Amino acid sequence: PQLANQIAAGEVVERPASVVKELVENCLDADANTIDIEIEKGGHKRIYIRDNGKGIHHQELELALSRHATSKISKLDDLENICSLGFRGEALASISSVSRLTLTSKPASQQQAWQACAEGRDMQVTIQPSAHPDGTSIDVLDLFFNTPARRKFLRAEKTEFSHIDEVIRRIALSRFDVTINLKHNSKGVRKYPAIKDSQSQIKRIAAVCGHEFADKAIAINSEYEGIQLTGWLSPAGEGRGQNDLQYVYVNGRVMKDKLINHAIRQAYEGLIETNSHPAFVLFLTMDPMQVDVNVHPAKHEVRFHQARLVHDVIFRSVSKALSESFS
Ligand code: ADP
Ligand code: MG
């Protein structure tokens, strides 16, 4: 099983940042509202993540580490209607096959915390009692220690950490209600305290995107044809040098999508002649049956059943918000 898991790991675990992404998504799926992340040496040495979510029951610990074991989908129909971030049951098995992984958890209903780790070629899981508050911790040491080819592709500590920082930024924009703290080499690097009311959301935007964007951002909030678009945009003609500040979420998942970006760019270009580099954080909410997210875990691609309609709705909403801010 270790080889099979390592092959699967090639798909899911490209670098430390992809480990962090998978693990933090698991915390969110477990309804955690506080997530603490500690990174050492760009994640190569250690990735430690603790949450206060619903935990993993003692009897399920071993299963959580095995491949294609997910607690999130019970029947095939669910695949059409995925609300959780994870559903493949592959991440933990993959990560533990290329690192020294320890999983410690305590559901609130359980008196005792338990700890599991899988080791060796046969991924033998050992389980022992442990101490832990309600929630789950995952400790990933020595990533790629047993896959030298992959280890060779690791970049400088700073580079790997900046990828992690970006992953956390994306997640922080998708869940204002969750506190996320990020440390690197024992130093606090990011603090994103939970946002309790919608008036304060701009605080999270400022924390993640900086004041330069947040202070001038135009709020957008519209709905056409059952497709809701909310978020913030840089004013037309501004946002130079911020062209990497472009975040789009579809039903809470971050997406890179040409269609969406095209619609946004068109809306800007309809207003000003110049080639603009808009910055934006946008949330598209629509019937999950109208979107396919069952694509490669690392690619963030989405397929809309009614692509034309989605394009038009985004174009109209963004154009309207921009032109209102003009007058
Ligand atoms: P998936 O997220 O696709 O279900 P994973 O390999 O990421 O698969 O996780 C396997 C299982 O382990 C999950 O289905 C979940 O039951 C459990 N799990 C993992 N991380 C956590 C966590 N932080 N809190 C609670 N349960 C978790
Ligand atoms: Mg997962």
How does DSSP assign 115-177, residue by residue?
EEEEETTTTEEEEEEE---SEEEEEEESTTTT-HHHHTT---HHHHHHHHHHHHHHHHHH-TT
Total domains present in the chain:
2
Does residue 206 belong to any structural domain of this protein? no
Name all residues whose Cβ lies below 6 A of ligand 1: 22, 26-27, 29-30, 51, 53-56, 64, 70-72, 86-93, 136
Do 220 and 154 belong together in one domain? Answer: no
> Where among 158, 192, 226 does a domain terminate?
192
> Where among 192, 227, 259 does a domain terminate?
192
Residue 316 confidence class, pLDDT cut points 50, 70, 90 = very high
Does residue 97 belong to any structural domain of this protein? yes
Does residue 204 belong to any structural domain of this protein? no
Do 187 and 217 belong together in one domain? Answer: no
Q: Which two tokens stand for residue 73?
A: 């989908």
pLDDT of residue 2: 74
Q: How far is the CA of 84 from the centre of ligand 2 (A)?
A: 9
Q: Which numbered atom of ligand 1 lies nearest the CA of 55? A: 25
Do 42 and 160 belong together in one domain? Answer: yes
pLDDT of residue 77: 55
Do 185 and 229 belong together in one domain? Answer: no
Q: How far is the CA of 170 from the centre of ligand 1 (A)?
A: 20
DSSP 197: S
ipTM greater than 0.95, yes or no?
A: yes
User: What percent of the chain lies above the pLDDT cut of 90?
Assistant: 66
User: pLDDT of 104-115, one tens digit each?
Assistant: 999 999 999 999
pLDDT over 80 (residue 242): no
Do 42 and 176 belong together in one domain? Answer: yes
CATH code of residue 107: 3.30.565.10
- Atom 11 in ligand 1: residue holding the nearest Cα: 64
Do 24 and 55 belong together in one domain? Answer: yes
pLDDT of residue 325: 85
Do 150 and 37 belong together in one domain? Answer: yes
> Where among 192, 225, 240 does a domain terminate?
192
User: What percent of the chain lies above the pLDDT cut of 70?
Assistant: 87
User: pLDDT of 126-141, one tens digit each?
Assistant: 999 999 999 999 999 9
Does residue 161 belong to any structural domain of this protein? yes
Does residue 205 belong to any structural domain of this protein? no
Domain residues for the domain of 135 are 2-192
Q: Which numbered atom of ligand 1 lies nearest the CA of 94? A: 6
**pTM: predicted TM-score of the whole model, two decimal places:** 0.90
Q: Which ligand is nearest to the CA of 30?
A: 1
Q: How far is the CA of 72 from the centre of ligand 2 (A)?
A: 9
Q: For 21-150, list the strands marked E by DSSP.
A: 34-40, 46-51, 100-106, 113-119, 124-130, 135-141
* Residue bearing the bigger pLDDT, 298 or 217: 217
Residue 301 confidence class, pLDDT cut points 50, 70, 90 = confident
User: pLDDT of 65-89, one tens digit each?
Assistant: 987 666 655 555 555 555 566 656 7
List the 34-40 sheet strands across, edge first. Answer: 124-130, 113-119, 100-106, 135-141, 46-51, 34-40, 179-184, 187-192
Query: Residue holding tokens 């209600």?
Result: 177
pLDDT over 90 (residue 236): no
Do 243 and 169 belong together in one domain? Answer: no
Q: Identify whether the C-beta of residue 254 lies closer than 8 Å to the C-beta of residue 303.
A: no
Q: Which numbered atom of ligand 1 lies nearest the CA of 27? A: 23
Pairwise CA distance, residues 203 & 293, whole Å: 29
- Out of 70, 90, 102, 138, mutate this one to test ligand 1's pocket (max ligand atoms within 8 Å of CB): namely 70
Do 155 and 32 belong together in one domain? Answer: yes
